[in-house]
Structure 1
Amino acid sequence: MTPADAPAVHLSGLRLDRGGRTILRGIDLTVPRGSITAVLGPSGSGKSTLLAALTGELPPAAGTVEVFGQPVPHGSRALLEMRKGIGVLLQGNGLLTDLTTAENVALPLRTHTKLPEALIRRLVDLKLNAVGLRAAADAYPRELSGGMARRVALARALALDPPLMLYDEPLTGLDPIASGVIMSLIQRLNDTLGLTSIIVSHHVHETLPITDQAVVIANGGLVFSGTPAELDATSDPLVRQFLRGEPDGPIAFDTVKRGEAA
């Protein structure tokens, strides 16, 4: 298989460790190009750790991580080049408070390209228009609502036209209306720009309607992989516990085992 035919992401036998502790093990996952994949699971299950492996922030303890047919590199220069092709929307937006909306979106273009200023301004205009915030170009982050700030962060993540988008809990802190706007925007941008998107979330009901593939991470591994319809129909007790939000079941709520001192 050539890189042109390869899936957007391919994980094989992946094990991820942090601080001498194994967080995830035995992860096998393929993300087709052009798809939207939801990575679901309880808080602390390792979802964000998985994203860290995709961006090269956390090297695998075992197994392989490939993005568009190429192993994630280890060298700093090669890693920086690869990251230009990956857009990341962080939980906290990461907007710089002393820069305007337009200046925040322009930052990756000014940092990673030598484009003339007039072209950068035009590209920023296009990105803000894509998220419906062209009129807010001169506003500062403190003047924006939570949903608007999230859309600015999305525009900035798209600044370099990355073919792969990673969303780390994109609905954190948003009300139901703003959440609906963000999910609809993710789907529309994925379709119109030909992106591949991976959404890490514990907001099951808001995320599943726009996804092609869903995976569930719990108890240190991948416990489900399939379509949203297959997820809804599964009888697996571990997955059902997560979907129903039940405190008792195979997924331990406490980090300390019952019977041990806290």
Structure 2
Amino acid sequence: MQASTTPLVQLTNVRIERGGRTILRDVSLQVPQGSITAVLGPSGSGKSTLLAALTGELRPVQGEVTLFGKPIPTGNRELLEMRKSVGVLLQGNGLLTDLTVGENVALPLRAHTRLPVAVRERLVQMKLHAVGLLSAGDAWPRELSGGMARRVALARALALDPPLMIYDEPLTGLDPIASGVIMSLIQRLNHSLGLTSIIVSHHVHETLPICDQVIAIANGGVVFQGSPAALEASQDPLLQQFLHGRPDGPIPFDAAPRARTA
């Protein structure tokens, strides 16, 4: 399923801290171009911290993060330019309640382009059509179901045609049917638009079927990187505990205090 073996995203010996505490250490991973990669792990394992490093919100204290073959820039203007190439679907959707669905999707186009109004409107229609909501352009966010709101947020994240999409817990708060719709959309859009996708999630069984690669994070680092089939075949007690939701195992119910760095 992978379109290329060239890593679109690469982390090399990365250590990330928050407030003087080491959250992730010695993280090395690659995301091939054209792939769908799942980043799985229990709550509090550092998945959101990894996402923040990919968008440049957090700087690693050690190692290097590269996107599109280049280190993440440090200058604000350069970082903003890079972020135009990264679409992020937030778990909270982030729709503005005083704007219509169409106006929400148009926000990135208004902020980052000088396209004529007619062109913007046509692009908004195209993005809403891609997520199956062309007829909802004049609706208000309060009129949408949870699944519909998530799809509008997806359309907005795709507005600038980013080659890299990052999904932060895309199934949070959704019922099984809406979850199935979202995962199917992610897979279809990834292949039809030639995207590279990273899905940050703890929903194992809904995410694995559409992925090319799985990266599992636990206990402050990467504990697995490979295919979904290899993950499910693994006999590692930690992976077995996570996959099958067992309360007892290497992953403690009560998180141990994170050690502060010297």
TM, length-normalised to structure 1: 0.95
Q: Distance in 2 between matches of 1:242 and 1:131?
A: 31
Write the mapping of 1:80-95 to structure 2, written as runs, cut at 5 A. Answer: 80-95=80-95
Per the TM alignment, residue 255 of structure 1 is displaced from its structure 2 partner at its CA by 2.2
Alignment of structure 1 residues 169-248 onto 2, 5 Å: 169-248=169-248
* Pair 1:19–1:158, CA change in 2 (3 A): same
Looking at structure 1, the residues matched to 55 and 148 of structure 2 have their Cα atoms a distance apart, in angstroms, of: 26
> What is the distance in 2 between the residues matched to 1:224 and 1:251?
14
**Cα-to-partner distance string for 1:186-229 (whole Å, 9 max, x where unaligned):** 00000000000000000000000000000110000000010000
| More off after superposition, 83-92 vs 248-257 | 248-257
One-letter amino acid matched to 1:12: T
Question: Given that residues 208 and 228 in structure 1 are in contact (C-alpha distance below 8 angstroms), is that contact kept between their aligned partners in structure 2?
Answer: yes
Structure 1 segment 16-35 matched on structure 2, within 5 A: 16-35=16-35
Instruction: Report the equivalent of 1:40.
Output: 40
Task: For residue 256 of structure 1, report the CA deviation from its aligned partner.
Answer: 4.8
Deviation at 1:44, TM superposition (A): 0.7
TM-superposed CA distance for 1:6, in Å, is: 4.3
Distance in 1, matches of 2:113 and 2:150, equals 24
Matched residue, 2:15: 15
- Percent of matched pairs sharing the same residue: 74
Partner-residue secondary structure (3-state), 2:222: strand
CA contact (8 A) 1:89 1:166 kept: yes
Q: Tell me, what secondary structure is at the counterpart of 2:44? A: coil
Distance apart, 1:17 and its partner CA: 0.2
Letter in 2 for 1:49: T
Q: Which residue of structure 2 aligns with residue 164 of structure 1? A: 164
The answer on whether the counterparts of 2:36 and 2:196 sit within 8 Å (CA) in structure 1 is yes
Q: Distance in 2 between matches of 1:210 and 1:132?
A: 19
Question: How many residues are paired up?
Answer: 254
Q: Secondary structure at the match of 1:198?
A: strand
What per-residue deviation string (whole Å, max 9, x for no partner) do you get for residues 26-56 of structure 1?
1110000000000000011000110100000
Aligned-pair distance for 1:5?
8.2
- Taking structure 2 as the reference length, the TM-score comes to 0.95
Per-residue deviation, 1:254: 0.4
1:16–1:24 CA contact under 8 A, matched in 2: yes
Contact persistence 2:97–2:140 (CA under 8 A): yes
Q: Give the distance between the partners of 1:74 and 1:244, measured in 2 at CA.
A: 41
Contact 2:36 2:197 in 1 (8 A): yes
Q: CA deviation digits over 1:112-161, x for unaligned, max 9?
A: 00111110000000000000000000001100000000000000000000
RMSD over aligned Cα atoms? 1.1
Q: Superposition pairs for residues 63-212 of structure 1, below 5 Å?
A: 63-212=63-212
Deviations 1:84-123 (A, max 9, x none): 0000000100000000000000000000001111100000
- SS in structure 2 at match of 1:12: strand
Q: 1:93 corresponds to which letter in structure 2?
A: N
* Structure 1 residue 253: Cα displacement: 1.3
The one-letter code matched in structure 1 to 2:96 is L
2-side partners of 1:60 and 1:117: how far apart?
Answer: 40
**Residues 5 and 32 of structure 2 are in contact (CA less than 8 Å); yes or no, is this contact kept in structure 1?**
no
- Checking the alignment, whether the CA contact within 8 Å between 1:6 and 1:68 is kept in structure 2 is no
Structure 2 counterpart SS, 1:8 = strand
